Amino acid sequence: MNRRRQSGLIGEREIALIGCVSTRLTQKTTWGDAEARRRRATTLPGCCSRIRVLYYYFFPTFRDLFFEQKEITPFSRYAERNILSQEFHLVAPDHLKYNQPSIVSGRTDVVTVTPWLAPVVWEGTFDPVLFDSIYKQKNITIAATVFAVGKYIMFLKEFLETAEKHFFVGFRVHVFVFTDRPNELPQVKMAAGRQLTAYPVPSSKRWQEISARRMEFIQELIEKELHKYADYIFCLDVDSRFHSRWGTESLGGLVAVVHPGYYRADRSEFPYERRPESRAYVAPGEGDFYYCGGAFGGLLQEVHQLAKTCHSNFKADATDGIEAAWQEESHLNRYMWINKPSKVLSPEYLWQDFKNINPEVKIIRFSGVIKNYAAIRPNV
């Protein structure tokens, strides 16, 4: 039970249960007036209680935000409105034409579902026309964050230019650049409904510190700004570029990207934090995949919970004199070992330019560029 509460996921059975109770609650009755009043007086409180119990048990994010929250905040009001509106009911436009799906043919060279039944997104596993048509109706806004601190500002122009060509094209997108050089943002023409905002952050003499504070700044941005209008957020590395579509097929509750350097490796080779005294610790024999710290996202409230938890654990480790092996990436991997992603993106969504492309990788959507770390980092 505890693992289910920690996971932050609702399965089809739980959705059906909630839907069943909700339907009973809202059905139009044919009872007579007096009888209707009597039955409503006795059944409505019970139905409402059952719905609250189902939400409380099956949706820990909902529980954490509302049932145990002592103070109502703007972010909690936003989440209350939005927490169930995006992911649990996908409505396709009537008469939409798209290729017939099949459950007996498709990709056989890769795994397309995790052991907890989350989809693994590869080229050839989704219909972009269908996905875009579903999400266009939802009128969503996607936020994206990148960190361009110090000399990393040199990568921002190519990131933005390629994002305009491939990242959620045709949707509202707001890119936030965390930078200590807000006056050096490049001039990039953005399509209607897309905008760029600089978010000033301090410089640092250690790249590890910049990396470590990412979760803190993401949490802060969500609480201060994004809760007002954004639905989804993706947190991406700036020293990267887009090559092909990254779109609505990537949307989900909590979304992870499998690291291109370890997706074929045994879990014993994953660079998890292995010191038990760290809050990022993953024990030998544990862990599902090794996820990228350079690309993750999902619903705003799910990423808020991830960032808040990782930031808190990082600070607690620092108090004990510990820095996890790969800073926020180590804490992210620990978090996602317990809180399973509801959608997993294949290494197509963050390849490495220095790597040869393996046969199962049919397309590169986003990749980290080749760079000289000694020339761009304040320390090596």
* Catalytic machinery residues: 329
d(CA 47, CA 34): 20
CA torsion sign for 254, 202, 177, 174 is positive
The answer to whether the CB of 326 falls within 8 A of the CB of 293 is yes
The answer to whether the CB of 266 falls within 8 A of the CB of 258 is no
Specify the amino acid at residue 82: N
Determine the straight-line distance between the first and last CA of the chain, rounded to whole angstroms.
Answer: 44
Per-residue b or e along 197-214, where b marks 16 or more CB atoms closer than 10 Å to that residue's CB:
ebbebeebeebbbbbbbb
